[in-house]
Amino acid sequence: MNAEESLDQESPNYLLDSNIVSELIKPDAKFCIVQKIAEHNSDCAICATSWHELLYGEVKLQDGAQKSFLRNFINELPGDFKILSYTKKAAEIHAEIRVKIERMGKPAPFADSMIAAVALANRMILVTGNTKHFAAIQKASGLQVENWLE
């Protein structure tokens, strides 16, 4: 096992899906999310795919208060959560997942299966409010999913 694939003792247990992180940006963020993240803060991470989705949203916005708020949020986020890369191991898992779910007749969106592969490669629980998006992936891979929006 190489250094990229090894897990250290301080590896986070929860990989936050983009919709969970996005909840924190909302002026009326659901208290259950804020509470769970506060409770598990040091045990949470996001992946580069979710990081991209946040950056894409910020770049896409017109200049103004909303864009400024999102930019500030993005600038603070790396201090709050570790950002995990899409590694060689994640790519291998991702390819296997995509083939399995395609054979099941239930292809998943590319970004969702990529996020799931990062969670699986790092032996993490994926936290999402979009459990339906990950149902076929769970069935094909044993991905552990928690919905903190419930």
> For residue range 89-98, what is the model confidence (pLDDT) as tens digits?
999 999 999 9
The rounded percent of the chain whose pLDDT value lies above 90 is 63
Are the CB atoms for 54 and 17 separated by under 8 Å? no
Residue 22 in this model has a pLDDT that exceeds 50: yes
Name the burial class of residue 3, with classes exposed (0-12), middle (13-18) and buried (19+) by CB atoms within 10 angstroms of its CB.
exposed
Residue 70 in this model has a pLDDT that exceeds 80: yes
